[in-house]
Amino acid sequence: MSIKTEEISSLIKKQLAGYEDQISVAETGTVTYVGDGVARADGLENAMSGELLEFSNGVYGMAQNLESNDVGIVVLGDFTGIREGDTVKRTGRIMEVPVGDAMLGRVVDSLGRPIDGLGEIKTTKTRPIEKKAPGVMQRKSVSVPLQTGIKVIDALVPIGRGQRELIIGDRKTGKTAIALDTIINQKDTGVICIYVAIGQKESTVRSAVETLRKYGALDYTIVVSASASNPAPMLWIAPYAGAAMGEEFMYNGKDVLIVYDDLSKQADAYRELSLILRRPPGREAYPGDIFYTHSRLLERAARLSDDMGGGSMTALPIIQTQAGDVSAYIPTNVISITDGQIFLNSDSFYAGQRPAIDAGTSVSRVGGDAQVKAMKKVAGTLRLDIASYNELASFAQFGSDLDAATKARLDRGERTMEVLKQGLHSPETVEEQVGILFALSHGYLDDVPVADLQQFESDLKSFMHANHQDIYDDIKKTGQLPKDDSLDKAIKEFKQTFQTSDQKKAAKDDQQKADTNK
């Protein structure tokens, strides 16, 4: 078989016609060490801090330590497939995550990849996970309330949009429950929610997702999960990824609520990472920049000025304490960064006071400016009532002879504590809260047995919705108590129809006697 020279020359001409003179330049390095979620590589002289790097097996890493002879890289994924001598190349991109409306209702990992089995997320927008917080002139004061639906918080430690309010307490005292209830209460308010679960069991995250789905809250929520089985770098970047997703909405003029659950585990992951990268340890073996780790994250929560679109991002960071010690390193750091804290007391929790919020140590430094005026009026003396009740209760247990004034204060305090109890995942509207607290502060509950107060509140809400919805609507619309005495009259009218459990029992007994006599 002979090969014609014409055919060969035409083939070569075709190949040359399609040739493009392009040179592909990609700066690559060589892995010199890998282990415990970090790698070291030399040959990446121009790598940027926080730059995304790609290993030869497709796993990504993030440049952290830029040293004279090599680069310290945190591996964002499974590091077991990386070996010494593998190549690693620069991408030229700072670490970023996908953002946008397509993320709503989804459960994603720290890199924004879906982990809920519902297919890929169709969005082309991305944002860097690290972004400089808005400056002083780009912000405006907190003045719009963010209702949690929890009476004791909305009355005593109100939260405003753009605020950072810390939820702090021992394990198993209801911190996550408060955060989830707040998310559930944002239904139909236009607030977009982001729940960042850091270092939790995957079963716990699944339970939280199902709770949000059950109450219809998942539709406006993004869940970012870096579970306990993930490597430390994923736990460390999870809150920053969540903040980047929230900023996309905030800079488009929307209101966002973001929960970091919890930053103690993020601090532990960052400590682990820093020690492996051989950064010098400081107090409690945390690196010297642990304060900056949390401050640059929480400062991104803000209420933007009108020139910036007027959006807001409200942060609810959660910190777990050991035996109620709020003076430990990480708790004091985060307390100093935030605008107040909600302290959960384990003694109150086990005594049946739920939510177990300690009114004495909980404070909101800027939320008072955003509190609804009607709530401010009815909750004015609440904190003093609780403080004097706690003080008197500790003395009253030693003596039985109490004067009438002391007994009256104890009775009022007992009823206050009972009214502030609230069931799990049952948030209340601001007008419903104002109604029951008005009844409490004006003495309408003084003759109602403590055991019947929960029933009284439930019946009062039903009565007001059925017969005096206009009063509730007025409070909701104006944020003020009615100028006339219509609320007074409505509660008096309800009290005439309300029967205590003793009265119901007596009426039942009378009915049985009458039936027997027949």
Active site residues: 365
Residue 13 phi, psi dihedral angles, 5° rounding:
-60, -40
d(CA 475, CA 374): 7
- CA angle centred on 412, ends 408 and 416, rounded to 5°: 170
Tracing tokens 């007992």 back to the chain, one arrives at: 414
Q: What three-state secondary structure class fits 210?
A: helix
DSSP string over 82-98: --TT-EEEEEEEE-EEE
| Alpha-carbon span 173 to 345, nearest angstrom | 7
CA atoms within 13 A on the CB side of 477: 7
Supply the DSSP symbol for 52. E
Most distant pair of Cα atoms in the chain: their distance? 124
Please report, as a single letter, which amino acid is at residue 128.
P
- Written as one string, the DSSP assignment of 59-80 is -EEEEEEE-SS-EEEEEES--T
* Separation of alpha carbons 127 and 41, rounded Å: 26
Question: What are residue 341's DSSP bridge partners?
Answer: 166, 363
Task: Kindly give, in sequence order, each residue whose CB lies less than 8 Å from that of residue 239, ignoring residues fewer than 6 positions away.
Answer: 196, 198, 260, 263, 266, 297
Query: In whole angstroms, what is the distance from residue 29 CA to residue 21 CA?
Result: 25
Whose structure tokens read 């079963």?
Answer: 203
Query: Partners of 198 in the beta sheet?
Result: 226
CA 187 to chain centre: 15
Residue 355 C-beta-side C-alpha neighbours within 13 Å: 31
